[in-house]
Amino acid sequence: MTSAAQSATPCAADELPADWLSLPLTRQQARESQSLFYFTRQLCKHGHLARRRTSNGACTVCHAMQPKRPRTDEQKAQRREQEQNAKVFGKKTCAHCGRTYFPKFQHATTRWEQSLYCSPDCKTKAHNHDPEHKKRKNAARRGNSELHQREYRQRIELHGSTRHHRATPEQREASREYNRDRFDRLYGSDPVFTAERKANAGHQKDRRKRAVAIAQLTPEQQQACKAIRQHATQLSAQLGIKIHVDHIQPLRRGGLEHPDNLQIITAEANLFWGDRIKRCPWPKPATWTEPPWEVPMPATQLVASAGS
């Protein structure tokens, strides 16, 4: 039998628990010894032989038999107000704007110590001006496809679509041209930009290696893949234009590094489609401007084909 059950159950004189006999005899002795209960070895006015509470001198059995009275909403509100008034709130100085504010957490707690800014705006501004915070955030986001997908869905829920969806083909091409110019201008000259691009390229390389490992190509198939890429490099040098070796089924969509999944197309067409499945029969808008896929034939091959 637990102590709570013993305190609410009347006992006969020969069935007293051993711990009851070690309790103080009077309420004054219980207060001096800071004991929660005392035992007088006498019956209460209702005939119970049980412990008594030091706080009010009531019999524990009588207290357990009393009906519980639920507190009203006014009493609950008054209790919350009393608890709130009993808390201690200390002032702090905002680490960004320097204003004095009261954190909503109680003074000297861990969360009070961690509170540094008076508002979410100050926190955002401070983080935007902190290069180290940007580095940590970019490092945490880099290569995290689940985080990218979650942020993508949040933008769609907030705005209904992304800027890429709302933009016209001219605006999309202007954005791509800006990114290309920025890459050509900063890569190699800006160490931070160069380090980020190299890290991203390393991630993409590792991801491709994992995809290639799953494909389990034979030596002949590996040579065929290399031959296709070498041929694309030769065509790009002969024609003086950018040519890409594209995956018909993108790697992110489950495609593999396989000769049957490779094709040589223009760089504009490859950048236009990105990692989407090409030539998918979805409804296209009226302003759809798809770049040409075909790579022009070199002049030497044209002469050879005409002679034959």
Q: Print pLDDT tens along the chain (308 aa).
A: 444 444 455 555 567 888 888 899 999 999 999 899 999 988 888 888 899 999 889 899 988 888 777 888 898 998 888 887 777 778 889 988 999 998 888 887 888 888 899 998 898 888 877 878 777 777 766 666 666 677 767 766 666 666 666 678 888 788 888 888 888 888 888 888 887 777 767 656 655 655 554 557 787 887 888 888 888 888 888 888 888 888 888 877 777 778 888 888 888 888 877 777 765 555 566 666 777 777 776 655 543 444 44
Cβ count within 10 A of residue 295: 19
Q: Which residue has the tokens 């969509």?
A: 253
User: CB-based contacts of 232: which residues, under 8 Å, 6+ apart?
Assistant: 243, 244, 245, 264
pLDDT at 207: 55
Taking the CA of residue 228 as centre, how many other CA atoms within 13 Å lie in the half-sphere pointing to its CB?
A: 18
pLDDT at 302: 43
Region of residue 98 (left: phi > 0; alpha: psi -120 to 50; beta: else): left
pLDDT at 4: 46
The C-alpha angle 17, 19, 22, rounded to 5 degrees, equals: 125
The CA distance from 38 to 23, in Å, is 5
Q: Under a CB-based contact definition with an 8 Å cutoff, are residues 77 and 70 in contact?
A: no
pLDDT at 250: 81
The CA distance from 244 to 271, in Å, is 9
pLDDT at 165: 65
Name the H helices within the chain.
3-7, 18-21, 27-32, 60-65, 73-86, 110-114, 120-128, 131-141, 145-159, 163-166, 169-186, 191-215, 219-239, 267-273, 299-307
Q: Under a CB-based contact definition with an 8 Å cutoff, are residues 290 and 274 in contact?
A: no
pLDDT at 38: 93
| Domain ranges, ordered by start, for the chain | 3-65, 167-216, 218-308
